[in-house]
Amino acid sequence: MKLPTKIRYAVRAVVELTDRGDGAPIPVKEISKAQGMSAKYVKQLMNRMQKAGLVKGHPGIHGGYTLAKKPEAISLYDIYQALDVSLVLVPCVGAQPECDRLERCSARVVWKRLHDSLEDTLKDTSVKELARCERDLRDGG
């Protein structure tokens, strides 16, 4: 399974806000430069996350974005939900399972376990944790 680019980039952008979170808004151009992403794409992602209440937009010449919540209160699952990306790996484990072999598929147990594990990991991982890991990596730890 490959995670969608918008999820990977959104996580990077929010971790950048977390890492530099001194309270001052961080302009989209700074986020995009620091993370090697297009400013237009960062803006689109931030708009979606702002609508979900994860970040705050600050207009004006010294504007940008800040976190709307404490970093420990924002999980990777929250970012998934903000971007409306499905976690369903295969159709038989979704909210409304779709499969004509549903009742006789032994692999479904494994797919369901994978789905649940992924969801649990995303819910249990905060952006604060990722920002700490990023600082440790940058500092050689």
| pLDDT computed for residue 42 by the predictor | 96
Number of domains the chain is built from: 1
Whether 67 is covered by a domain: the verdict is yes
Whether 30 is covered by a domain: the verdict is yes
Structure tokens at 86: 């499905």
Contact 71, 128 (CB under 8 A): yes
Whether 64 is covered by a domain: the verdict is yes
Whether 44 is covered by a domain: the verdict is yes
Whether 101 is covered by a domain: the verdict is no
Whether 35 is covered by a domain: the verdict is yes
Is the pTM value of this prediction over 0.85? Answer: yes
| pLDDT computed for residue 16 by the predictor | 93
Whether 92 is covered by a domain: the verdict is no
Could you read off the pLDDT of 45-62 as tens digits, one per residue?
999 999 999 999 999 888
- Reported in sequence order, the residue ranges of the chain that DSSP labels E, i.e. its strands, are 55-58, 64-67
Residue 11 has pLDDT above 70, yes or no: yes
Could you read off the pLDDT of 95-118 as tens digits, one per residue?
677 777 877 888 888 988 998 999
Q: Hunting for tokens 């604060």 — which residue is that?
A: 128
Whether 131 is covered by a domain: the verdict is yes
Structure tokens at 3: 């995670």
Structure tokens at 87: 């976690």
**CATH number, position 51:** 1.10.10.10
| pLDDT computed for residue 141 by the predictor | 63
Q: Which domain holds residue 47?
A: 5-86+126-138
* Mean pLDDT, the chain, integer: 90
Question: How far apart (Å, rounded) are the C-alpha atoms in residues 55 and 53?
Answer: 6
